[in-house]
Structures are given as structure tokens and as C-alpha cells.
Amino acid sequence: MVVTYKDWHEMLPFALHGYRTSVRTSTRATPFSLVYGMEVVLPVEVQIPSLRVLMDVKLQEAEWVRTRYEELSLIEEKRLAAICHGQLYQQRMKRAFDKKVRPRVYHVGDMVLKRILPPQNDRRGKWTPNYEGPFVVKKVFSGGALLLTTMDGEDFPSPVNADAAKEGLKRTTASSMIVCALVKASWIIPGGDQSESFCSEGRKHGESEEIWGVTELELDEITGFTLPLG
């Protein structure tokens, strides 16, 4: 533990020694043993000789060399065992993580907020907003990416990862009517094919015909403003 932030470099060798001689949970071995094939001799074992040190001292040089050669010949086996333990550890971590994760499922027409990346340097500090929006999900890709569009109908230049978005409005009757009306107002093309295909997505997800057949008067009653419907 450093006394001040200026003497961290003096304590670095001790921190590295502790890390290299400690058994890692993922590999069930010390980094030192995976490199040299034997456990490190601690300074306290030199000052107060341990059984291992006493036995090495009594060995003849030829016998010590033979013992050391056997340890080095088994180092590859130790490393393979460490790799297997590491893979099992990663699988356990993944299972534990997956238990706590709720997959985010979005549908076309959902209103979402997008996380602001990277974090902006703002004078408001912790009061700086982390999300912007709302935006409308225009397309959902199989890999978990979303193609968003603004409320004015402007598409994002590239898809957004679903992890960087969160649900902005629930798929209630009111929000469904607003989304459909906005899409009809901003995305309509000659013939009305695009708006009709978009609104048909609402029917696929259980929305009634009355909801997606909202009239201009009904929208005015819900939102307080009127949009021209296609």
C-alpha cells in the first residue's frame, strides 16, 4: 500500500511479486509456476528455512539437476491444465452472467432512448444526460442491432447495438397510435405502401385494427396536436 501517490513505483515490485506468487482462481496455479515449472522460494523461507529448502540443500548437484529436469518436462502438462481450468472458469462466469441478464427484445415501431457514446464532457457533471431521444425502431437485425430513425423520419447512418438502447415508451394504445401517426406523416410515399407496411407490423404484434386505424381527431385528443395522416 502506497503512502502517497508519488511513491507507487517503489511499491510496484512488491505488488508484482504478490501477484505472481498467488494462486489465480481462473487457472488454479500461480503465474510463476506456469513460467518456471516450480513454486517460488519466498524470502521468509530463506530466512527461516522450510522443509523444501532444507531438502534442496541436502541434495547432490546431479540429483538436483535431475529433479529440476523432471519439473521442466512436466511444465507443458501444467500449462494445459491451467488452460482447461481457465476455459471452465469462463463458462462458469458466463452462466452466472446470463442468469442476471434480461434479453432486450425490440420490435419495429418501438420508441427507445439511445445511450450517448462516448460520455460527453459537460459542465453539468453528473447531471449530464446519459440518453437521448426518443427514436423509433425502423428495423431489427438478427444480431441484436437496431436501425433507428428520428421523429422527423431521418435514418441513423449506421445501426445501433441493442445494448446501447433502452425502452422509452411502453407499447400501449396511446403510444402505438402516436407512432403510427408520426410514421404516416413523415415516411409516406406515393401510393402509401411504406406507411401501410409499417402499420401492419402493429397488427402482427397484437394491436387491434382500431388502434392502427386512428383518425386525426383521435390523435388530437391523445397528444394535443394534430398531424396530417396519409
Q: Are residues 25 and 121 in the same domain?
A: no
Q: Are residues 73 and 115 in the same domain?
A: no
Is the residue at 134 inside a domain? yes
Is the residue at 230 inside a domain? no
Q: Are residues 117 and 219 in the same domain?
A: yes
Q: Are residues 24 and 57 in the same domain?
A: yes
β-sheet bridge partners, residue 145: 161
- Tell me how far apart the alpha carbons of residues 4 and 52 are, in angstroms, rounded to a whole number: 38
**87-99: b or e for each residue (b if 16 or more CB lie within 10 Å)?**
eeeeeeeeeeeee
Q: Are residues 90 and 117 in the same domain?
A: no
Range of the domain at 28: 5-100
Phi, psi of 74 (to 5 degrees): -95, 5
Query: What cell numbers appear for 3 in the block?
Result: 503512502
Residue-level pLDDT, tens digit, the chain, 230 residues: 557 777 888 889 889 999 999 999 999 999 999 999 888 888 888 778 787 777 777 777 888 788 888 888 889 999 999 999 999 999 999 999 988 887 778 888 888 998 887 766 777 777 888 888 889 999 898 878 899 999 888 888 888 888 888 887 655 444 444 555 554 444 443 444 444 444 444 444 444 444 444 444 444 444 444 444 44
Is the residue at 158 inside a domain? yes
Q: Are residues 115 and 219 in the same domain?
A: yes
Distances (CA, A) of 135 to 27, 129, 147, 169: 45, 16, 10, 10
